[in-house]
Amino acid sequence: MRKEYDIDKLNPRPNPYARELKKTVTIKIQTSVIEYFKEEAGKTGIPYQTLINLYLADCVKQKKTIDLSWSPQGEKSSKKRKAAQEV
């Protein structure tokens, strides 16, 4: 190995894995969801965080949308939404 390198003479090239880089985030996930993915990880041998990432990536690839029509209050919210849409 050389003691010094001339940066101007180096052959820079783009990182072929740059598009695959991941970002570390902190999110709160229900314990039951974590337990589910940990069980699946045990069956498949794939780390549970990787399984979560694969599932989310599949949702993105398939352009899945979230159905937010449910509510803990039941029909009250649905009626309010329908009334608001009619106005």
Tens-digit pLDDT string for the chain (87 aa):
778 888 777 877 887 777 778 888 999 999 999 999 999 999 999 999 999 999 999 999 999 998 888 767 655 555 555 655 664
> In this structure, are residues 37 and 51 in contact, taking their beta carbons and an 8 Å threshold?
yes
What does the block give as tokens for 76? 């009250």
Whether residue 61 lies inside any domain: the answer is yes
This prediction's pTM = 0.57
Interatomic CA distance for residues 39 and 16, integer angstroms: 33
Whether residue 44 lies inside any domain: the answer is yes
Output the pLDDT for position 54. 95
Whether residue 9 lies inside any domain: the answer is no
Whether residue 48 lies inside any domain: the answer is yes
Output the pLDDT for position 77. 53
Whether residue 72 lies inside any domain: the answer is yes
Whether residue 6 lies inside any domain: the answer is no
Whether residue 12 lies inside any domain: the answer is no
Residue 2, SS3 per DSSP: coil
Total domains present in the chain: 1
Interatomic CA distance for residues 50 and 70, integer angstroms: 29
State the residue range of the domain holding 70. 24-86
